[in-house]
Amino acid sequence: MAPFALPTLAPSPSHWSAMDLGGTDGGEVASRMAADTIHRYVQTPANLEGTSPGLAMQQAFYLANEELIERNNTEKRLQRQRMGTTVVAAWMMNHLFYLGHVGDSRIYRITPQVCQQLTVDDDVGSQAVAQGQNVYRHAVLPSTAGALTQALGITHSTAMRPTVQRYFFDEDTVLLLCSDGLSDHGRVNEVWQSIVLPTLTQNINVAVSAARLLEVANQRNGHDNSTIALVHYRITARQAVDPSDLAEILKSWPLSAAPDSRGPVVIPSNAGPRRAGQARSSSSKPSPLVVLLAAGVMTATLIALGYGLWRVLGLARDNCNRPQPSQGHGCLPRKPCRRRWPR
């Protein structure tokens, strides 16, 4: 392998979409505050030293959340008066895309073949499906299915779990970041082929496609404000990456963990998101004493069952060997003994 030096993180193209929460006051202010805070954090080189893009994105989410909570508390906002916002983010670094979200704003990946939703909404319905309590087609039926389980500015960062994913795209791709003003009622699935796909197949400018998507959101949904961002990712021969170099990047930059304590927001180590399939710690293994006790209990149970079965068979055999009582003066032939098992 050729000598490889891990590049330092530096400001790079990033895209953010923040959407105010319906039913709360000051939602537009909250979304603007969150977008500005996240963008400012990741564009400051000092905040990126000694960390990975995934951890930096998490830390930016925590910082935006704490600033919103501080403002809500300063202005003494309560319940629906508190400002809150959802957020989605896309950040490219060294051929890798880091995608993060909090709330029900979504990220779609669109290729010439398919439109794929990459994020899972932080709402009651999706939570029920993730926990195995219901199937999706039933979980979305109740009126409370769309209620958010988390958003920026609502709860303290120790109770928030931002989702950050890492992708390597091997073909031309368009990323669609949008709020539920567009994604509700399956509008993205309806129009991606006619509006977004031409960006890949006919080289239509993303600004034109974004404007058409906004029209769809206003005309076919219209119940909520819409925030839309499109990212066109093209692959050229000059962008080819050595697989060994990519493996080194993945090894050196972990995707997620607890936020760095050196960041502006200090979050306890248990505040980081959980990853599916994470191995259990060795402390969860049973001790040798517990194993011996369990084996002893099982052995005693088997002995007791064997003794009881032996007693039952012995009583049945004794009954067969007893002489039959005679009736009158005659001697009746002995009837065959039928073993009766206790009921």
pLDDT digits (tens, 9 = 90+) for 275-290: 333 433 444 456 677 7
**Arithmetic mean of pLDDT, 78-94:** 88
User: Dihedral (C-alpha) 265, 266, 270, 272: value to the nearest 10 degrees?
Assistant: 30
Number of Cβ within a 10 Å radius of residue 31: 28
Q: What is the mean pLDDT of residues 208-212?
A: 96
Give the whole-angstrom CA distance, residue 324 versus residue 318: 13
pLDDT above 60 for 309: yes
**Does position 72 have pLDDT exceeding 60, yes or no?**
yes
- At 323-336, the pLDDT tens digits run 555 444 444 444 44
Average pLDDT of the segment spanning 196-220: 95
Percent of the chain as helix, strand, coil, to the nearest 5: 45, 15, 40
Decide: residue 108, CB within 10 A, 0-12 exposed, 13-18 middle, 19+ buried: buried
Q: Poorest-confidence range of 24-33, 211-220, 249-258? A: 249-258
Across the range 196-210, mean pLDDT stands at: 95
Which residue ranges form the domains of the chain, and what is each CATH number? 14-275 (3.60.40.10)
The model scores a pTM over 0.85: no
Q: Determine the average pLDDT of the residues in 130-159.
A: 92
CB 304: neighbour CB atoms within 10 A? 10
Both structure tokens of 326: 């005679």
Rounded CA gap, 90 and 202, in Å? 24
User: SS in 3 state form for 191-258?
Assistant: HHHHHHHHHHHCCCCHHHHHHHHHHHHHHHHCCCCCCEEEEEECCCHHHCCCHHHHHHHHHHCCCCCC
Rg value, the chain, Cα: 32
Please report the pLDDT score of residue 280 as a whole number. 38
Sheet holding 106-110, edge to edge: 115-117, 106-110, 173-178, 228-233
**pLDDT given at position 207:** 94
Q: What confidence score (pLDDT) does residue 295 get?
A: 82
